[in-house]
Amino acid sequence: MTRTVQIDDLARRIKPGAKLAFAPDYGGVPMAFGAELLRQGTGDLHIVCVPAGGVLVDMLIGNGQVRTLESAAITLGEAGGAPRFQAALKAGAIRILDATCPAIHAGLIAAQKGVPFLPLRGLIGTDVLANRADWKTIQNPFADEPDPIVAIPAITPDFAIFHAPVADRFGNVQIGRRRELATMAYAAKATLVTVERITDENLLHSELSAAGVLPSLYVEAIAVAPKGAAPYGMWSGEYDTDTKAIAHYARTARTEAGFRDCLAQLLGMAETA
């Protein structure tokens, strides 16, 4: 049964060495959860971005909590590159598993289906494939002529983590059209969710609402975190992305001292939220 807990209790479920799948910037970034994770300092993490990461992943890298990064991109969008990711990359401080958007989704879908891999074609001949020893080029077993395909191994996160607008008291979570959130949850061993609010209405009661709901079967625990995606916006329309705040981070976090100021600001905001 899904439990509703405090957000610090939610973050304490993450142990050193855990593999975490995070939602993309447009799909419910769990920034409030991330602030607790940063405060607790849990390290040696393997982060899977579904399929790309932004400020939260950059801050975890800057705080020395990431061992392995598996992602199609780390970017701050119009604000530019992710400064602590770039610094860690140059210093060789993290292990990079470079990927593409389809490859990330293929690995998660393989885990969801309980199969060891899923095939893709578009990677053949790319530098991405050349630098991923764990991706294997195999012969299509159904072709009579040479027909190479790439086997993408299953990605099974310990936790899928995202922020959503609402959950009901039964543990069902509204995800709307963000199907990557369902993919993450189906692939992961457990799913942790922060939400703007909890409603007494059963989100699965109506056929219209049920289509955009992740059932409680896939959700281990929920915490209420108003504006829990900020500075990113909430796709349901509660609030917009604070582009000035992201641009400020992009400029300030270029130096270690500036990053520490940004980190202190984030944690201070989380404490007073």
Instruction: Show the tokens assigned to 222.
Output: 């929920």
> Do 198 and 122 have their domain in common?
no
Flag whether 111 is in a domain.
no
> Do 8 and 66 have their domain in common?
yes
Which domain CATH number covers 164?
3.40.1080.10
Cβ neighbours around 244 below 10 Å, total: 10
Its domain, for residue 129, covers 117-153
Closest CA to 70 of 131, 114, 28: 131
Flag whether 94 is in a domain.
yes
Flag whether 112 is in a domain.
no
Flag whether 43 is in a domain.
yes
Measured distance CA(71)–CA(53) in Å, rounded: 7
Measured distance CA(128)–CA(241) in Å, rounded: 31
> Do 66 and 147 have their domain in common?
no
Look at the block and give the residue holding tokens 């990053």. 259
> Do 268 and 160 have their domain in common?
yes
> Do 125 and 48 have their domain in common?
no
- Residues shown for the chain: 273
Element (H, E) at 198: strand 190-199
> Do 164 and 40 have their domain in common?
yes
In the chain, alpha helices (H) = 7-11, 31-40, 55-62, 83-91, 101-113, 127-130, 179-187, 207-210, 243-252, 256-272
Domain final residue pick, 135, 153, 171: 153
Each residue's pLDDT, cut to its tens digit, for the chain (273 residues) gives 679 999 999 999 999 999 999 999 999 999 999 999 999 999 999 999 999 999 999 999 999 999 999 999 999 999 999 999 999 999 999 999 999 999 999 999 999 999 999 999 999 999 999 999 999 999 999 999 999 999 999 999 999 999 999 999 999 999 999 999 999 999 999 999 999 999 999 999 998 889 999 999 999 999 999 999 999 999 999 999 999 999 999 999 999 999 999 999 998 865 544
Flag whether 110 is in a domain.
no
> Do 92 and 75 have their domain in common?
yes
Number of H helices, E strands in the chain: 10, 15
> Do 147 and 160 have their domain in common?
no
Measured distance CA(268)–CA(273) in Å, rounded: 9
Measured distance CA(235)–CA(217) in Å, rounded: 23
Domain final residue pick, 134, 153, 172: 153
Cβ neighbours around 183 below 10 Å, total: 19
Please give the model's pTM, rounded to 2 decimal places.
Answer: 0.95
pLDDT score recorded for residue 134: 96
Flag whether 108 is in a domain.
no
pLDDT score recorded for residue 271: 55
Flag whether 265 is in a domain.
yes
The interaxial angle of helices 55-62 and 83-91, nearest 10 deg, is 40
Measured distance CA(5)–CA(226) in Å, rounded: 14
> Do 87 and 210 have their domain in common?
yes
pLDDT score recorded for residue 270: 58
Supply the DSSP symbol for 218: G
If one counts the domains in the chain, the total is 2
In 83-178, alpha helices (H) = 83-91, 101-113, 127-130
Instruction: Show the tokens assigned to 256.
Output: 């270690």
> Do 53 and 71 have their domain in common?
yes
Instruction: Show the tokens assigned to 250.
Output: 């992009």
Instruction: Show the tokens assigned to 58.
Output: 């950059």
> Do 126 and 7 have their domain in common?
no
pLDDT score recorded for residue 1: 67
> Do 48 and 127 have their domain in common?
no
Flag whether 261 is in a domain.
yes
SS3 47: strand
